[in-house]
């Protein structure tokens, strides 16, 4: 396989995991303020400032995990693709990119489940078992 084609396919293969890692880090460290144009937006995430911040941080963690989890196998398979025919390498790239995109598209489900387990329907933090209304834990 020609080196130029392999380099092009390698870049196509790693661009999504690298973007997920960088984007995840950005959402964790410099999450956008609540707005309707950028950030993880869902009805649940927009309920309160607390849910918005939690959703952005959770989204960042999920994207970083997906990015790191897909980067190493992608690099390994891309190196292996160097020894394939051009057609096989292109098919491998199509499969890798499809898997990466499906994982990123489904990341919202993880965030929604986490939001619903930590916040009530009004966007207020759920009380942990054993906590009083004052926030103190009960002692026996």
* Chain segment 94-118, per-residue pLDDT in tens: 999 999 999 999 998 899 999 989 9
Q: What is the pLDDT of residues 69-98, one digit of tens each?
A: 999 999 999 999 999 999 999 999 999 999
Question: What DSSP line would sit under the chain, residue for residue?
Answer: --HHHHHHHHHHHHHHHHHHHHHHHHHHHSPPPS-SSSS---TTTTS-HHHHHHHHHHHHHHHHHHHHHHHHHHHHHHHHHTTS-HHHHHHHHHHHHHHHHHHHHTHHHHHHHHHHHHB-TTSPBPPPTTB-TTSPBP--
Per-residue confidence (pLDDT) for residue 20, from 0 to 100:
95
Q: What is the pLDDT of residues 2-60, one digit of tens each?
A: 889 999 999 999 999 999 999 999 988 887 776 667 778 888 888 888 888 888 899 99
Per-residue confidence (pLDDT) for residue 121, from 0 to 100:
83
Q: Categorize the per-residue pLDDT at 133 as very low, low, confident or very high, splitting at 50, 70 and 90.
A: low
Residue 73, token pair as written in the block: 């196998």
Per-residue confidence (pLDDT) for residue 131, from 0 to 100:
58
* Greatest alpha-carbon span in the chain: 72
Per-residue confidence (pLDDT) for residue 13, from 0 to 100:
95
The overall pTM is greater than 0.85: no
How far is the C-alpha of 69 from the C-alpha of 101, rounded, in Å? 13
- Packed helices 86-105 and 107-118: angle between N→C axes, nearest 10 degrees: 20
Residue 8, token pair as written in the block: 């092009």
Residue 82, token pair as written in the block: 């160097």
């Amino acid at each position: 396989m020609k080196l130029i084609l392999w380099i092009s396919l390698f870049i196509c293969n790693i661009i999504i995991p690298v973007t997920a890692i960088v984007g995840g880090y950005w959402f964790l460290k410099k999450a956008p303020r609540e707005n309707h144009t950028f950030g993880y937006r869902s009805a649940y995430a927009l309920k309160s400032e607390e849910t918005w911040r939690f959703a952005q941080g959770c989204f960042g963690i999920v994207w970083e995990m997906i990015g790191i989890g897909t980067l190493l196998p992608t690099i390994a398979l891309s190196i292996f693709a160097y020894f394939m025919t051009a057609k096989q390498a292109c098919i491998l790239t199509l499969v890798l990119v499809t898997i990466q995109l499906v994982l990123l598209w489904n990341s919202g489900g993880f965030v929604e489940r986490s939001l619903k387990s930590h916040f009530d329907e009004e966007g207020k933090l759920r009380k942990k078992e054993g906590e009083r209304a004052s926030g103190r834990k009960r002692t026996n």
